[in-house]
Amino acid sequence: MKLETSEYKKTKIFRLGELFCGPGGLALGAVSASAETEKAVYKIKHVWANDYDKDSCKTYVRNICPDAPESVICGDIRRLNVKKLPSIDAFAYGFPCNDFSIVGEQKGFSGTFGPLYTYGVNVLNHFKPKFFLAENVGGIIASNNGKAFEKILLDLENAGNGYALTAHLYKSEEYGVPQTRHRVIIIGIDKKLNLRFEVPAPTTLFDPVTAREALENPPIADNAFNNDPTRQSELVIERLRHIRPGENVWTAQLPGRLRLNVKGAKLSQIYKRLHPDKPSYTITGSGGGGTHGYHWEKPRALTNRERARIQTFPDSFVFEGSKESVRRQIGMAVPPKLSEIIFTTVLKTFAGIRYPSVPSSWENQMTLFANRSCT
């Protein structure tokens, strides 16, 4: 951990490296986080990041590290030489979730993306950072009958000098995010430090931020970045006019000509309109008709800026690339609001600052892992 001294306090800076960085949702939360005691200020500083998507890398550089574009290595992670990267003492990665998501075939480790978490393990083994954050979809819990998640936890625990893990299923709407986005986040702290991370208590458990609050308070400026509307066909407009707030194409009372002729699984998000007085449903980056997220009042898809608002990106955060590329980037990102809360509590843990907490989703499982590693 790097120390910087000032006339009054020391600034303790954790140098952050990141894999699968996307547009910078995790990073924005990390660099915005801080904790302060009477003697020191604890902060996180970006050092390097990697992603294979060119537009995501451009977005990350523009918003996170405009003065150090060379610190974002854009390319295939399989060709990334970790040993040539600058030293870090903090690490974050939202390893690709495609094979663990409930949307899809749930191939787990047998898929293309499942084994990619091991590249993060390699980083932990090489740099031995003081702490790390790993993020994935809730579907990872059930993948391979739970064996995939158990294997990932075991590999992360045994990496580096060994890590004390705290895994939890975070419900974003309980932390000020206007969206029912549920993600598994694992925090690991070097066991040698004898610190225990506790899950921060929800901040909006009984008063979630609604879609209306997110999009209208304050109103989005007409000239806001990434706010171009999507042109809708007359058929889609007519269909949406028959779908009430909170309904989707399957639950609405539609005339026969407006119904979808689909057999088998019927995704609840197809042409689903937001409910203005509830958090949004999960904003996704997937393509396909009817999956773009739809306004509760206006018969149209959400703009990318509206999606970014729901993901808690500030309006000053500019996404690079085509409209479809931006939509994918937003849908794949970690909400910066949730990221900042978690990184802040990590810093408080290192600073010795107490904060309201709740038991983790896997309290018993973590105890079992700890006991097993001692035998």
Task: Give catalytic residues, as residue numbers.
Answer: 97
CA dist., res. 240 & res. 159, Å (int): 50
CA dist., res. 241 & res. 325, Å (int): 28
| Beta strand pairing call for 131-137 and 90-93 | parallel
- Sign of the CA dihedral 209, 212, 215, 220? negative
Place of tokens 């010795």: 352
CA dist., res. 372 & res. 344, Å (int): 30
Cα 185 off chain centre by:
9
Assigned token pair, 166: 């705290």
Residues 308, 280 contacting (CB under 8 angstroms): no
Q: Which residues touch 245 (CB under 8 Å, ≥6 apart)?
A: 273, 274, 275, 276, 296, 297
CA dist., res. 252 & res. 244, Å (int): 7
The CB density around residue 55, as the number of other CB atoms within 10 Å, is 19
Nearest Cα to 61, choosing from 28, 16, 15, 32? 28
CA dist., res. 285 & res. 231, Å (int): 18
Nearest Cα to 108, choosing from 117, 99, 95, 120? 99
361: left (phi over 0), alpha (psi -120 to 50) or beta: alpha
The CB density around residue 112, as the number of other CB atoms within 10 Å, is 10
Residues 183, 137 contacting (CB under 8 angstroms): yes
The answer, yes or no, to whether the previous bond of 218 is cis (omega within 30 of 0) is yes
Assigned token pair, 95: 């390893």
